[in-house]
Each structure stands twice: as C-alpha cells, then as structure tokens.
Amino acid sequence: MDYKTLVEYFEKICGKIRISHDIKPDEFGRNLSEVCTYLRVGKIEVNKTIHGDNRHGEMGPENAICFESKNFDSKRFYNTDSISTGLVDAKYSFYQIKGDDLPFTDEEKNIMKILSVLIFLFSGNLLLTKHLNHVIFHDIRFKDVYNPAFIHFKLGEYIKDGRIGDYGILQYNIQGFSLINKKLGEKPTTEILEKYHEGLTKIFENDPDKKGFDIALGGDNGFIVFRKELKEEVFAYLSSAEFRVKNEKGEEEFVVLKSRFGYNMELEGFSTSHQILATAGQALNSARKIPGTRFLEYDETFRKKFEMDRKIENWYTDALIKEEFLVYYQPKVDLHNYSLKGAEALVRWIHNEIMIYPDQFIPVLENNQTIKYLDLYMLNHVCQDIKKWLSEGKEVPQISVNLSRATLAMSNLVDVITSTIDKYEIPRSLIQIELTESASDADNEVLRPLVTGLNREGLSTAVDDFGTGFSSLSLIKELPWDVIKIDKSLLKGAHKDGSRDQLMFKSIISMAQTMGLHCIVEGVETKDDVRILKESGCYMAQGYYFSKPKPKADFEALLSTK
C-alpha cells in the first residue's frame, strides 16, 4: 500500500473516531494529533463513547474506527473482530465498525495495522516526552518540587499570555538551618526539608497555574511563585512551620522552621523571568542586612532605594578620585568655659552639586566592603588640613576620625594609620581614632590588637556610640581606651529626675571617670541637655546646641592663632 492510499483512507475517517470509555480523551487526542501532523492531514475529532445497553448503536456511525485500551474485550459488546497490532505492549487495539455483516477487506486491515503502529509509536514518544519534562523541570531530591528551569519556563509563559499580574514571587532562606543540620544530623535534616516542601505542595495542591509552586535551590533556599490570594497562607507557613522528626539516635525532636524572605507582589511590567527573580533576591539580600527583619517587600520605595544604591556603587570610585567627598568638622566643647576642645571629622558627598548624606551612602559602602577606602581618604584629608593649619600658626585641637567595622579587617591597620599621620609630619596626639563596638564577638576580637597597638603608638582611641546596646563592659575594662563617647539615646532618657535611665546615665559617667577614662556626650541639642551633663559631672559635649558640622573653611575660622 502506498503513502497516498494511506492518507486518503485516513482523511476519509476524519470525524469518525470513537474511543472506549476507559481511554482518556485528552491523552489519546494528543496521539492522534501527532499522527495527523505526520501524515499532513486535517485534525481528527475525537468523541468519547459511553457504553450502555445499546452499545452498538452508541458506537455508530458505520464505517467509523473505534479505539479501545489493550485490555478491553470488544467481542463482549460488538459483533466484529478486533484488529491487533501484533505488538505485545501496544497501548491500544483498533477495529472498524462496518455493520453486522460487512467484513474487513484485506486492504482495510492492512491500513488499520499501519495506523495502530503509528499510534503506538507516537504514544511512546508522548510518554517519553512526559518523562523528560518531569526530569527537566523537577528537583529529583523532593517529591513534586520543581527546579529553577521550571520557574523560568512558567514565568515566561505567564508574561507571554498576560497572566503574570495574578502572581507574586518570593525568595526565602530558612534561618539557622545549618545549626539544625549540625544538631540532628544529615538524614533527619533531609527528612525535615522533605516535609517542609510537602507542606508547600499541599498549599498549592500540586497545581502550578491555579495555585503556585515551590522551587528548591540550595538546602535552605528557594523561590515560591504563588497566586496573590494565597499570600497570607504562604507567609504564615514561612513564618513558622512545625515538624517532628527523629534524630540519628532515634529520639523525637520538635523543630520549628522560620524563614526570612524578600517578595514582590507587582510583577506586571517585567519582560523576563530573570528580572522578576532578581527583585525577590534583592529584597531578601536587603532584609538580611537589617537586624531583626524577617521579610521585605520589593515595592516602588525599595526600587528607588535599590537603584540609588547601585548608582552610589557606580559613582564611588570616580568620586574618590575627583575628591567629591568633603570633610566637615563638628566642634567638641568644654562646658566649663564653652571653649573649643576638639572636633569630629564627618564626611559629606557633593555629586553634581547635589549633597548625598552619609545615611544614604555609608551603609552601601559598608555592605560591599569598600568603606575602607573612604576611611583612609578621610584620615589623609584630616592630616592634610591639620598640617596646613599648623603651618599657619593656628592652635589645632585634637580631631577624631571614624573607622568603620569593615575597615578593621585590614591587615597592618595600625601601621597604615601611623604611616599616614607621619607622612604629613604632624603630632600623633592631634588624631583620635573613634571605633564602634560590635554585636559580633569576631569583630570585637579584632578591636583588641588594634586598640592596644594604637595606644602603644601614642594615638588616642574612643569608644563611639556607647550605650546603643552593643558595648561590652568587659571590653571597656580590658582595653586601653582613652575616651567613652556616650550615645545621645542615653542622654534623652536621663531627663526624668530619679528615673532608672538617669541613674544609669550618671553611673556610666562615674564609672568611666573612676577608670580614668574621659567622657563626652554627643547629640546635645538643648539647654536642658547641658544642665544634665553638668549635674552628672560630664563637661565635654558635642551637638547641634553648639554647632552643626561645619565645612572646613567655617571651622578653620574658629581656630585661634598662637
């Protein structure tokens, strides 16, 4: 039989296809569509047959082909012979309804065998494709959990068909998961992860389009795409998911998983899946940098700040080269006679004639670990200014320079500081280094050799922001500090007579003086603040009550000539 005859016969039966009740129409229809494409003929309409008492009548019309599953016995219902493919593992068998007394011709039997083989081949191809898709789009570690390839595929699909606005996205990180792994062992921890993903699968009912889906990344990271109406349910699960599992000793453990996450609820307007994923990742990374923050939304405010942060990073190197960073000086005042006793060097950034304030750029530079270049820039410029003032015969008070925590990790930092000062041939006593204690024991361990080394080299050191909750009394006791700089938050709480805040404020000053340390209070803004300082025995102050930070020229005017 030639190809033309096969196509003519196949076209003749278009619209006359019936299937038995135990075959899925959608699946079978896809197989037939493949055959139609292969033979380049029109689409075949598939109708499902419902078997009743009058089975033959329902199967009509005559000259139609019936498809049934391999295990279905047509002889029980119809007065006709089933045409077998001769393939033991064929999924379907086929026969033609021609009426009760009309036999199949040899040509028709041959055609039906060819068609059955084609259907079988395309069925196998469809099944293989289904398995391949599962491998391509699923994470083999967990049941019904998708992998990153799937999220790109689905988001691209939603963008293309205009459904992207129905969904939100988040990226999560399970907090403290490494500690759980260390405590319970690898096998119990893997079991917890499986249960965690099962919980998300239950929320989505394994229906990505109508509900959402979970994407596993590393052991404790993942993405979730979810319908907007499921936001509260998803957030509640991520905030606290409880599990019971046996540890490696066989003892039952109760585990609560809490996740930090960044999310975006407005996905319209994005043209690629990569852009969408980036928004959730950016929000999560920002949440990590804010102490106590469990989740953060990528919204318009976040977007503007994120864009500004990226601009700051891009402008930074050129700004150092062009000396866009300016040194401002805020006076320190002796309350005995209100004379100038020192100043703190503070940075300001003028970019294209616009002031960028420290709270905008310093966190960015600390996070990307480039703040050290600005710290050394400031030290150089302060030394340069002091040298100029000394050469002009001015009386120069001690100037304090701040070093950020990120700068403390520099190797040979003491040598870098002393060599910078000595380069300008100024007395080391005119420079004070302000350092902020950290909540991190590791950071504080770095302070020990630094403070000791600076003290040995004749440089004054001050504990900045004392009282903000990070300071350690043991560290104050053990290291050779010269000055404690009390944070304004302690001062504000000391206004109420007899209050615990006031008692603590006075006790800190008394303790420092007993230990031979000098005290200065920053953030002094009112006459009443000055009164409290004097009553507490502290006579060094800094704040807007006396002066705002001044540009170099304005501060220079305050310096008297010898």
176 in a structural domain: yes
* Beta-carbon contacts of residue 251 (< 8 Å; ≥ 6 apart): none
Q: Which of 486, 479, 439, 440 is nearest to 460 (CA)?
A: 479
Claim to verify: residue 328 and residue 289 sit in the same structural domain? no
Quick one: pLDDT at residue 122? 61
pLDDT tens track for 174-205: 998 888 888 888 888 888 888 988 898 889 88
Claim to verify: residue 314 and residue 346 sit in the same structural domain? yes
* CB neighbourhood size of 543 (10 A): 21
Report the distance separating Cα 348 and Cα 362, nearest Å: 10
* Beta-carbon contacts of residue 231 (< 8 Å; ≥ 6 apart): 168, 265
Quick one: pLDDT at residue 257? 92
Instruction: For residue 288, give its domain range.
Output: 148-298
Claim to verify: residue 439 and residue 540 sit in the same structural domain? yes
Q: Assess contact for 408 and 450: CB atoms under 8 A.
A: yes
Claim to verify: residue 251 and residue 364 sit in the same structural domain? no
Claim to verify: residue 89 and residue 210 sit in the same structural domain? no
When divided into structural domains, the chain yields a total of: 3
Query: Which residue's entry shows tokens 């008492």?
Result: 53
Claim to verify: residue 332 and residue 468 sit in the same structural domain? yes
Q: Which of 124, 130, 50, 49 is nearest to 91 (CA)?
A: 124
497 in a structural domain: yes
142 in a structural domain: no
In sequence order, the β-bridge partners of residue 47 are: 18
Claim to verify: residue 379 and residue 528 sit in the same structural domain? yes
Quick one: pLDDT at residue 108? 62
pLDDT per residue of the chain (562 residues) written in tens, 0 to 9: 455 665 665 555 544 455 544 455 555 556 566 666 655 555 444 444 433 333 333 333 344 445 544 443 444 333 334 433 333 334 444 444 444 444 556 766 666 666 666 665 665 565 566 666 666 777 777 777 788 888 898 899 999 999 999 999 999 999 988 888 888 888 888 888 889 888 988 898 878 888 888 887 777 889 999 999 999 999 999 999 998 888 877 888 888 999 999 999 999 989 999 999 999 999 999 998 887 899 999 999 998 988 999 999 999 999 999 999 999 999 999 999 999 999 999 999 999 999 999 999 998 999 889 999 999 999 999 999 999 999 999 999 999 999 998 898 888 999 999 999 999 999 999 999 999 865 455 566 788 899 999 999 999 999 988 866 555 677 788 889 999 999 888 898 888 888 888 998 999 999 999 999 999 999 999 999 999 999 999 999 999 999 999 999 999 999 986 5
* Beta-carbon contacts of residue 458 (< 8 Å; ≥ 6 apart): 428, 429
Q: What is the dihedral angle through the alpha carbons of 132, 134, 138, 142, rounded to the nearest 10 degrees?
A: -120
Last-in-domain residue among 275, 298, 321: 298
Claim to verify: residue 107 and residue 172 sit in the same structural domain? no
Positions of E strands within 152-276 = 167-174, 212-216, 221-227, 241-246, 252-257, 259-264
Claim to verify: residue 272 and residue 335 sit in the same structural domain? no
CATH number (domain holding residue 227) = 3.30.70.270
Claim to verify: residue 244 and residue 361 sit in the same structural domain? no
Query: Which residue's entry shows tokens 């480039």?
Result: 370
Buried b or exposed e, range 440-475, using 16+ CB within 10 angstroms: eeebbebbeebbebbbeeebbbbbbbbbeebbbeeb
Cα angle, residue 425 at apex, residues 419 and 431 outer, rounded to 5°: 70
Cα angle, residue 82 at apex, residues 78 and 83 outer, rounded to 5°: 155
- β-bridge pairing 221-227 and 212-216: antiparallel
Claim to verify: residue 182 and residue 49 sit in the same structural domain? no
Q: Which of 331, 237, 311 is nearest to 520 (CA)?
A: 331
Q: Which of 274, 183, 265 is nearest to 230 (CA)?
A: 265
Report the distance separating Cα 84 and Cα 66, nearest Å: 12
In sequence order, the β-bridge partners of residue 334 are: 339, 540
- Tell me the whole-structure pTM to 2 decimals: 0.65
CATH number (domain holding residue 125) = 3.40.190
471 in a structural domain: yes
143 in a structural domain: no
Q: Which of 223, 559, 258 is nearest to 397 (CA)?
A: 559
Q: Assess contact for 462 and 454: CB atoms under 8 A.
A: no
Encoding tokens for residue 137? 């789009």
CATH number (domain holding residue 313) = 3.20.20.450
Report the distance separating Cα 355 and Cα 315, nearest Å: 14
Report the distance separating Cα 219 and Cα 237, nearest Å: 18
202 in a structural domain: yes
Q: Which of 247, 332, 262, 270 is nearest to 297 (CA)?
A: 262
Quick one: pLDDT at residue 123? 59
Quick one: pLDDT at residue 130? 63
Q: Where are the alpha helices (DSSP H) in 138-185?
A: 148-161, 177-184
- Alpha-carbon radius of gyration of the chain: 39
152 to 203, 221, 273, 297, 321: CA distances (angstroms) = 21, 17, 5, 21, 42
Quick one: pLDDT at residue 219? 72
Last-in-domain residue among 250, 275, 298: 298
Quick one: pLDDT at residue 396? 96
Claim to verify: residue 293 and residue 323 sit in the same structural domain? no
265 in a structural domain: yes
Query: Which residue's entry shows tokens 């991520």?
Result: 238
pLDDT tens track for 14-69: 444 555 444 555 555 565 666 666 555 554 444 444 333 333 333 333 444 455 44
Quick one: pLDDT at residue 85? 36
Last-in-domain residue among 298, 330, 353: 298
- What DSSP string runs through 523-551? ---SHHHHHHHHHHT--EEESTTT---EE
177 in a structural domain: yes
Helix, strand, or coil here: 447?
Answer: helix
Gap between the terminal Cα atoms of the chain: 117
